[in-house]
Amino acid sequence: MTDSTRSIGSKFEDIAANYLTDRGYTIIKRNFHFGKLGEIDIVAQIGNILVFVEVKARTSVEYGTIYDTVPLSKRKTIRKTAEGYLYVNKINDRECRLDFVGIDATVRPFVITHIENAF
């Protein structure tokens, strides 16, 4: 991933984090890496629920819906990385959820789609 691509991704993760915060979520961690397995874009909390969030931005109308950009293999990786977060942080008695935040940047203002329990 180039620095430019990373910078753009960070910008959209900022937008998603602000979106979640505005809706009562507390951001706990951003860009959690579990070894070489994978990354969780945002770890947040709402009430007593720990929420792992995958953020995707759409800058082109190609390739189907924004949710379609997360293939089954990536969804499995997200789940395993979330399990890694729980393991590293010794969390075993907490309700958890895997969410998706998609940002459609092909229109202004951006359209944000939040899917709870997406994976």
Entry field: residues in the chain = 119
Could you give the CA distance from residue 69 to residue 58 in angstroms, rounded to a whole number?
A: 9
Q: Which fold does the domain 3-115 belong to in CATH?
A: Trna Endonuclease; Chain: A, domain 1 (3.40.1350)
pLDDT truncated to tens, each residue of the chain (119 aa)?
A: 454 555 667 899 999 999 999 999 999 999 999 999 999 999 999 999 999 999 999 887 776 777 777 888 999 999 999 999 999 999 999 999 999 999 999 889 999 999 999 98
Q: What is the pLDDT of residue 49?
A: 98
Any residues with CB less than 8 A from the CB of 91 and at least 6 apart, and which?
A: 50, 85
Cβ burial, residue 35 (10 Å; 0-12/13-18/19+): exposed
User: 17 is written with which tokens?
Assistant: 């984090």
Could you give the CA distance from residue 5 to residue 41 in angstroms, rounded to a whole number?
A: 15
Cβ burial, residue 70 (10 Å; 0-12/13-18/19+): middle
In 3D, which of 1, 5, 118 has the Cα closest to residue 66? 118
Q: What is the pTM of this model?
A: 0.89
